[in-house]
A and B are shown apart, each in its own frame.
Chain A
């Protein structure tokens, strides 16, 4: 299997298939990062497009020796997500429903609402706790990996994660009685 570095070199030579392969490999990762940081699927899809367009435009200056392409994609997606988040922070929109099948329309609606509530709560966190929470909890990176991706120390990651937990508990518990169990907000990973 061709490595990411080889694909980046091929992309720099103008290989069109290389971009398609990189997109297929990493589109979901970029989407998850963007969704976790913005809390909106439509915005996350937009960020995926912007991120890969940026990869295409800046492919000439990419150097595989200076870092992995996933790190580069994460950084671009994170910045875009922050920009989108700042711009549309006060928009009130109905989030898209997940296409994941549910047992019944009623359950599906409830699950979708809870999922959206979770994404909104995460998206309302301050920048650093949100980034740490998305990477550490949402995507399952280790503390070391999260620190490396964010360019900070592991102590800062733990502090920000604790802050995120505290804020999310307050946000998710400040809801109607029937939604007080925050684990119900966890989307299914199946």
Chain B
């Protein structure tokens, strides 16, 4: 007897299915395939756990490095000029040792100014800004002490204690050359707060061979 129903499709129910209901329920994953898949899953689990261990260790190192970098950045932001001591220590001790050498005497004359707007002459770098200080109230003992200190510093010229190594900066035009010298100057009246860094530029005509003079 044929199992094909001749009734209209709308009358057919589940019993009229061309195959018996649940024909897939007898199917099973073979033992061989199940064992193979289980082994594959176990390998994957093991690999993932070891990967997480590696990631965890690397992440710990990265987090430590990031925290150290943030801390270092914070400290540098608080003290941007390394040669300006905050605690009264000698500026020479704080400056990088290889960059310092004995300061030559400052040349007395002033070099001729290069033409303004010339592209061959770089702009003068702005000096480092001094830390703003809160002025004491008038009439107080602190105000008078500061006035005395300022007067003393004006009387005594700054003392050059060290100079950076020369920083070569050849110009584009052949007529001039430039040297930039960074100097450390300490005010003798208050060494702790008056150490400054300044930049002086020298020019001279290249063809004349004359002695360089500071601007």
User: Is B18 part of the contact surface with A, judged by Cβ < 8 Å?
Assistant: yes
User: Is A91 part of the contact surface with B, judged by Cβ < 8 Å?
Assistant: no
Q: How far is the CB of B103 from chain A (nearest CB, A)?
A: 65
Is the pair A182, B41 in contact by a Cβ cutoff of 8 Å? no
Binds A, one of B24-32, B82-90, B168-176: B24-32
Chain B residues positioned under 8 Å from A14 (CB to CB)? 49
Q: How far is the CB of A89 from chain B (nearest CB, A)?
A: 20
User: Is B76 part of the contact surface with A, judged by Cβ < 8 Å?
Assistant: no
Q: How far is the CB of B13 from chain A (nearest CB, A)?
A: 10
Chain B residues positioned under 8 Å from A48 (CB to CB)? 29, 33, 37
In B102-120, the 8 Å CB interface with A consists of: none
A–B pairs, 9, beta carbons within 8 Å: A31-B29, A44-B29, A138-B23, A165-B17, A169-B4, A173-B4, A186-B19, A186-B20, A189-B26
In the assembled complex, the Cα of A96 lies from the Cα of B45 at a distance in Å of: 30
Is the pair A169, B18 in contact by a Cβ cutoff of 8 Å? yes
In B2-17, the 8 Å CB interface with A consists of: 2-4, 9-10, 12, 14, 16-17
List 11 extra interface pairs beyond A20-B41, A48-B37, CB under 8 A.
Answer: A27-B29, A31-B29, A48-B29, A49-B37, A56-B45, A138-B25, A140-B21, A165-B17, A182-B3, A185-B19, A187-B26
Chain A residues positioned under 8 Å from B21 (CB to CB)? 136-137, 140
Is the pair A189, B22 in contact by a Cβ cutoff of 8 Å? yes
Give the B-binding residues of A (Cβ under 8 A).
Answer: 14, 16, 19-20, 23, 27-28, 31-32, 35-36, 41, 44-45, 48-49, 52-53, 56, 98-100, 118, 134, 136-140, 162, 165-166, 168-169, 172-173, 180-183, 185-190
A166-B9, A182-B19 in contact; A56/B44 too (CB < 8 A)? yes
Is the pair A190, B33 in contact by a Cβ cutoff of 8 Å? no
In the assembled complex, the Cα of A138 lies from the Cα of B26 at a distance in Å of: 10
A14-B49, A169-B4, A188-B26 in contact; A52/B19 too (CB < 8 A)? no
User: Is B48 part of the contact surface with A, judged by Cβ < 8 Å?
Assistant: yes
Give the A-binding residues of B (Cβ under 8 A).
Answer: 2-4, 9-10, 12, 14, 16-30, 33-34, 36-38, 40-42, 44-45, 48-49
Interface of chain A: mostly helix, strand, loop or mixed: helix
Listed residue (B9, B12, B33) with the most chain A CB atoms within 10 angstroms of its CB: B33
Is the pair A140, B41 in contact by a Cβ cutoff of 8 Å? no
In the assembled complex, the Cα of A28 lies from the Cα of B200 at a distance in Å of: 85
Cβ 8 A contact of A136, one of B14, B26, B41: B14
A180-B2, A186-B19 in contact; A56/B25 too (CB < 8 A)? no
Q: How far is the CB of A148 from chain B (nearest CB, A)?
A: 18
Is the pair B41, A53 in contact by a Cβ cutoff of 8 Å? yes
B49: nearest residue on chain A (CB-CB)?
A14
A16: nearest residue on chain B (CB-CB)?
B45
Is the pair B27, A56 in contact by a Cβ cutoff of 8 Å? no
Cβ 8 A contact of A139, one of B17, B25, B41: B25
Q: How far is the CB of B110 from chain A (nearest CB, A)?
A: 73
Is the pair B19, A137 in contact by a Cβ cutoff of 8 Å? yes
Is the pair B41, A52 in contact by a Cβ cutoff of 8 Å? yes
Cβ 8 A contact of A190, one of B26, B30, B41: B26
A16-B42, A49-B37, A56-B45 in contact; A31/B20 too (CB < 8 A)? no
Is the pair B24, A165 in contact by a Cβ cutoff of 8 Å? no
Is the pair B12, A32 in contact by a Cβ cutoff of 8 Å? no
Q: How far is the CB of B44 from chain A (nearest CB, A)?
A: 6
Chain B residues positioned under 8 Å from A180 (CB to CB)? 2
